[in-house]
Structure 1
């Protein structure tokens, strides 16, 4: 787990760390492993609060309910104010601190588990969009308060199942406040626009995040909508476009396999050859040597 800030804790604030032996049990239980609470709390008027994490090994959410602070992430600086929530996925280096004149009050939670990634897809969070404005924060604040109160339940496993489900509810409530934004940002989505986008980027290695971001959707929503429209997964369809282009080059040029591999985005020609064969049933060399179609 990423180290929590060592801000000196006054009586009006709370910092609670889940015991490590309990975390290990939560990680293997089907009732909690999808979203495991590691630490959570509330800092009120947190003058002097701040931390820099060049390495971030868990997921962190911060909800500002008063005052303000600054966040530095991905080479950008944000001013965080009331009713804004910050998402810092694992692996995201960051630095933040409370304002010196109007220090923020924040709820926060460190957590891990695959459901965090799924919620981020549904909410529409990505590396270009880590700060969101909440339109109705009251219900989310109430759930954070309940989460903090759960620390009095004792160190029994079933008590931490409750905390895990409170985190799920918090993220679910956040997701209800974001779909309108995502839908308004969508690009025209059709078989033609998809094919044109993939052909335009046939020399790139697009990730699912790249594709979803281009069409203005969350990764989860994009993958589902793509499957319904194309009866195929985005990644598999993009690979098929690359293979089609490689076939064209094999048919119409004297370029060697290594050059063709690089042309469709793969530095490793042997990896490309395996992908090609898994699609065509022939290696690139066998395809070029075959008389199929002649």
Structure 2
């Protein structure tokens, strides 16, 4: 692992490396060996920060939350801006640095484990900046992982930290999938999801969705299912049922009122859809949440 140990840590910066003796314990621990943190840092306004590697034994995740920088891979230099995330699989040759004019603020994480390669494949091994936006949820997880530096190398805390990394990578994979449009056409799942959200209280048919994606109904349905695992209409219904769960949890509104609010004048039909999606009737769901 290459850590910029000679580069001066900026004010309010964080950097820690998991001791080798603890890594060996994590590798032997069934609850930890899937994924574990090998190093982590937070560099605010990191003027002068730069790194060059010919290869490294673990995986690296870098998240830029402000400012800018650049990443060089295979003699190609790519801009890195606020909201960009980089996933660098083990062994990759790369170079990156903060901008001289607007130095970046970044979180960085080194990790390894039996599932590290699988998560790399799940994210898609982009090895290039992908903009996911400045996500408070992602920042909170990074901040939580950073607390490991206060753990006095407690094994239980590092096990929990590894589980946080799994949750982080799963969420990053979802964000990356949502933000990447399909090559060769204008199909964009994030745009379709936004359209569905706009119509969450009413109706939306396949013709409208396909028209928005500028595709035939057949090709739109095929591409949408490949991206999400569900047909467009079933996905839209699932979004409605999740909204229904929120309303059942957070409001005293009647089931009839909620059904009507989500575009279902027939309460019995709404209840059947709800049970099919959630696994229980709306009445049962509400009582189970009390």
Q: State the TM bucket, normalised to the shorter chain.
A: 0.5 to 0.7
In structure 2, C-alpha distance between the alignment counterparts of 1:32 and 1:8, rounded to whole Å: 32
Is the contact made by 1:32 and 1:161 (CA closer than 8 Å) also made in structure 2? yes
The match for 1:64 is 64
Deviation at 1:163, TM superposition (A): 1.3
Q: What number of residue pairs does the alignment pair up?
A: 189
TM-score of the two chains, using structure 2 as the length reference: 0.60
In structure 2, C-alpha distance between the alignment counterparts of 1:47 and 1:3, rounded to whole Å: 16
Is the contact made by 1:37 and 1:164 (CA closer than 8 Å) also made in structure 2? yes
Is the contact made by 2:65 and 2:134 (CA closer than 8 Å) also made in structure 1? no
Unaligned runs of 5+ in 1: 188-216, 225-294
The match for 1:116 is 116
In structure 1, C-alpha distance between the alignment counterparts of 2:154 and 2:160, rounded to whole Å: 11
Is the contact made by 1:64 and 1:105 (CA closer than 8 Å) also made in structure 2? yes
Is the contact made by 1:34 and 1:114 (CA closer than 8 Å) also made in structure 2? yes
C-alpha deviations, 1:50-87, integer Å up to 9, x for none?
11111222111100000111111122101101000011
Q: Provide the aligned C-alpha RMSD in A.
A: 2.4
In structure 2, C-alpha distance between the alignment counterparts of 1:86 and 1:6, rounded to whole Å: 23
In structure 2, C-alpha distance between the alignment counterparts of 1:163 and 1:84, rounded to whole Å: 23
4+ aligned runs moved over 4 Å, structure 1: none
Deviation at 1:5, TM superposition (A): 4.7
Deviation at 1:9, TM superposition (A): 1.2
The match for 1:140 is 138
C-alpha deviations, 1:98-146, integer Å up to 9, x for none?
11110000000111123222122222224xx532110462110111011
Is the contact made by 1:5 and 1:51 (CA closer than 8 Å) also made in structure 2? no
Unaligned runs of 5+ in 2: 186-222, 230-290
Is the contact made by 1:135 and 1:177 (CA closer than 8 Å) also made in structure 2? no
In structure 2, C-alpha distance between the alignment counterparts of 1:151 and 1:18, rounded to whole Å: 9
TM-score of the two chains, using structure 1 as the length reference: 0.59
Is the contact made by 2:46 and 2:98 (CA closer than 8 Å) also made in structure 1? yes
C-alpha deviations, 1:186-230, integer Å up to 9, x for none?
99xxxxxxxxxxxxxxxxxxxxxxxxxxxxx9xxx99x9xxxxxx
In structure 2, C-alpha distance between the alignment counterparts of 1:140 and 1:24, rounded to whole Å: 28
From the CA coordinates, give the structure whose radius of gyration is larger: 1
Secondary structure of 1:178 counterpart: helix
